[in-house]
Structure formats: C-alpha cells, structure tokens
Structure 1
Amino acid sequence: MLTDDDLRFLTQSELRLVEYLLSLCHMPYKHDLPIAETPIIDLTHDCGMGSVEFFRACNYRRKFGRALIEADTFDVDGRRVMLQLCIDQHGYLYQLDSFTADFDPLIKPLGEVFVFENINVHKIDECQPKSKISVPKETKFSKMSDDTALKAQCFLHNLATEPLSLAYVFSGDDTWMLSVDLIYRIYQCGLAEFEFDVLAKNEKNLNVTYDDIDDFCYHLSITHPDDLRSDIWQDTKMILTPFGQNLINQYFQDFDRWYDTINTAFIEKLEDIFIEHGLAWNEKKPLFPTIGTYEIT
C-alpha cells in the first residue's frame, strides 16, 4: 500500500533534467499537474540508480505505453548513465528509467552533471499504437469541409474551458459519422481524453466501459447521438490534454471570432497532426461508418 512517505518531488537537478528531455520530445504526453508539482515514487528495484515513477491517482493499473526519448548522461564520477523517459498506456507521463554503466548506485542525483549524449527522440509515426481498424496508408486526403472545420474548431475551443458531453461534438444526422471520426482522432493524437476512463473495461460497469478506443468508437457508430435509450453520447465527456490546451492557446490568443469564422492556420495544423499520426482526415472514407438508422420520434 502506497503511503505519503513513499512520495516525494523531483529535486532541482532532476526537474531540470526531466524538463529538458521533455522539451526535446516530438510525441504528445499528458500530466495532471505541472512537473514540479507532480509527486514521484523512487523505484527501489533499480538499487539507487535514479529511476522514478510519476505518480497518478487513477482507476487502472498503469503499464508501459511507449518511449518518448532515450539519452545518456553522467554521474559526478564520470560514469555513464542511460536514461529512458516513457508514458503509460493512456499517454500519461509514466517513468524515468535510469541505469548506471556498472549498475552501482548514483553518487549524486540525476542532473547534477548536465551533459547528454546519444539522444534518441522517438517520432510519432514509429510509435503509433496499432489499431484494429483499417487506415489508408496514402497521404492524399480530402480536407475538412468548411462546415466540418468550423464545428470541429468550436468543439475543441469549448473543450478548453470545460469538459463537454460527446453529444456536443457535432449535431444532425449527416454529422453522426464525422463526430465519431473526430472523437477517435483527437483521442489517438493526444489532443483530448475522457473525463472518466471509459476505456478501462470494468466488470462492475460493463455498460459504460469498453476494451479500447476502437471498441468505444464502434459503439458510438452503432448508437445514434439522439437515441435516448443509450447514455454513451450524453454521459461521456471529453477534456483537453495539456497538448490540446497549448494548441488552442497558441492559435486563438488573438482570434476572437472562433464561433463563426474558421481559423485557417489552426485547422491546417489540426489536419497536419492527424496526418502525423497516420489518421489523415477524409470525409469520403470514414474510419467508423455509422451502422443502421434511427428514427427520432
């Protein structure tokens, strides 16, 4: 059982090292608090070589998701120290793994020697998780229509202020399929996440939890947004990740008419992010074609 005595914060030298490595990363990552305010756990299995886990209170068992970056640094006695910074299966900053060349403990905390070699920054495409759906490999794509672009822009801008129900993504029968595709993309690209972890299958909550994002979006595709017999659209809420929040702040700092005017630079950036993740926007080839029809009475 974890206690408060097991938690601490990064030292100044460790914080400087972690923030430097994160500044080099290409892939998005998530965290609930600023790095300096995030509690950490010393991983005792490394025998004092400096490995730590970034603590997060969550309702799932955390595990390795993917590596963000690897690099070598040094202890004060000149010994080489191999580092790897990674995220968990849901994209949250997870562990900093550290191993000295001789597997003996560090003399001083990581970062006391601020020298780095053999830096290997992982790219988005090489670490993209495999999806069960079929995504076209070609880079040609049809850009968002003006109507879709404005609706996507409004939804993401509103997410910057508060969590929103999925029922507010788009509206109308003709946008059902586009809503599912947008939800899938902004989650897979690290722009947004679910307020409640609906992707952690729980036997006690079988009706509101799912195996993964593909399973969840499949259920969205077979459930009309206005079908009150299901709560999946109304009760599930999304929030922006720090990556998504920073994107909105960057592109809308001096752009006031987000509700009726397309921010072309923002939409182009959004489309580029989709392409980088192998999920180019294409309204003619939906990732999740809607199944069946539903007549609202």
Structure 2
Amino acid sequence: MASNSEILDCLIVGGGPAGLTAGLYLARLRRRFMIIDGGAPRAAWIPKSHNIPVFADGISGPDLLGRQRDSLVQYGVSPVAGTVSGLRKQPDRFIGVIEGEGQSRQIAARRVLLATGGVDIEPDLPDLPNAVQRGLVRYCPICDGYEARDRRIAVIGYGDHGLGEAIFIARTYSPDVTLLTLGQRLQKPLKRQEELDALGITVVEDPVERLDLEDDRIAALHAGGRELRFDVLYSALGLKYRSDLALSLGAEHDPSGSLIVDIHCQTSVKGLYAAGDIVRGLDQIVIAMGHAATAAIDIHNHCEMPTEDEPGGA
C-alpha cells in the first residue's frame, strides 16, 4: 500500500476476484499500490461455483471474495472503499479521481489496472426486479450447468446470444431446454433453426404475464395463456461492461464495450491494463485471476521503465 502523497506503481480499480488477485501478486512483489473497491463485484451474486480449482464442493462468491481479502491482510493490504470517477493520463503517470466517504481526492500512479467487470442485464420479469442478483435466475451455465444436468431448463434471451446459450445448454447438459424471448420476436428465418430443431429446443416468444413464487424460487411462469414450469432458469441477456474509464482514454474495444488487450493484458493505452470480465473473451473467475496475474507481473517488470509515450520510453 502507499500514502496519498506517493506516486503509486499501480492503481487497481475494482475489488472482485481479478482486482484482489492482482493485489496479492503486487503485494508479494513489494510494489506500491492501492485497490479501490466500489463494493459491487459481480462475483458476489454467485450462490455457488463448482469450477474453481481446489474447491471440490464449490464455493459461493461472497466466501471466495472474503478469503481473497483475508489473504491480503498478512501483507498489510486492505481495499479502499470508493469509486474512481475519472482517469487522466499524463506523460509519466495517471491521475485517478477517487470518490468516497463524501469527499473527492486524486491519486497518482505510473500504471493502472482496471478490474471493474460488468453488470448482468436483468430480465424484465413481472414484479420481480433484480432476479439475477437475488439468485432466482442464474447467469453462468459454465459455472453450474453440470448441477442442472438432465433437468428442465429455460434460457431467457433473444438474438444470437440467447440462441447460442440455449443451444450450448441443450448440447451439453439437458435435452429439455426452452428459450424464452419475453415477447421479443426472433428474426425469421433463424440462422440456427436446424440446430434448434435437432436439439428439440422449444421457443416461446410470448411475454411473461405473471410469475408464481414458492420457497424463494420461481415455480412457474405464465405466458401466452400457458403455465410453464422449469427447474432452472438462466439469463442470456449479456453484460453492461464497466469500461467507461478506459473508453475515456481512447482504449480499443469491441462493439459491446469490452476491452481488447495484448498478451500482457495491457490495453491499447500504454500503462493501462485490464483484467476480468471487462476484457473481451470468456467471463470466468479463473480466467479473471489469470488476467490479473499476467498483468501484475508485467507491471512489476516495467515499474522502473517508462511507458512508450514517456520521455526515454522504448
């Protein structure tokens, strides 16, 4: 960690699995850094993930984050609660504007690692806001689809992403899959109609009119005059990426706003790195941790070297 008057080696923005992993690496590499945690990591929504190595019985998102924070304590590191509302680049440093506890301050760092992730787009279900955050609708069949194998599964989505996830689940986990478009009409003819037919995927384009909740779960959905019952519901509506800080500096990104990075997880803005869901590719915790480790080591290796746009830069 470092005092406010120092120029940090790295400012880490985000206190989820990627940001905390980067903090562990940089602490052990004896670097001056700070983790700014907005307090809303996407991983905190996970009831239980089963594909994180060494946790044979699975682990919940909050438990994982707690263990990661505990592992930083022995190095004297604690994430700082707050948000980074602005980021400016100067020839030899970045200036981050930190908001927290009713005040604003500025932090200078030679390099910045963005681990800000994304927010799942919630399905528009009747009288049920934040269904994904509440755990009533799942969002990661790669993480927990194995536990839903051979059960009745509904995928909420439309467009290529919704179709793709329904086909993935039907090919991998269950022969009983329904795609719910929530009233959105799919463009006909569908590019993947043959796959839908071959896998026996049912498509329901009627809007959901009401829900039946039992024991803190969605027991039934009513659409088009029918009662639909499923064991598991997944949302496939995509993410809103928290990439505004990078985009404000002109970082290269894809049409969805996720960032494009090099093999060291550095963006097209020299000295600006990214890790986790904010990076284009698979949104997986172990991948986020790998991004963070890769970025942290590269940051360490270049701490005494100027970036390419600084005087004397390579």
**TM-score normalised according to structure 2 size:** 0.20
**TM-score normalised according to structure 1 size:** 0.20
**Structure number having the greater helix percentage:** 1
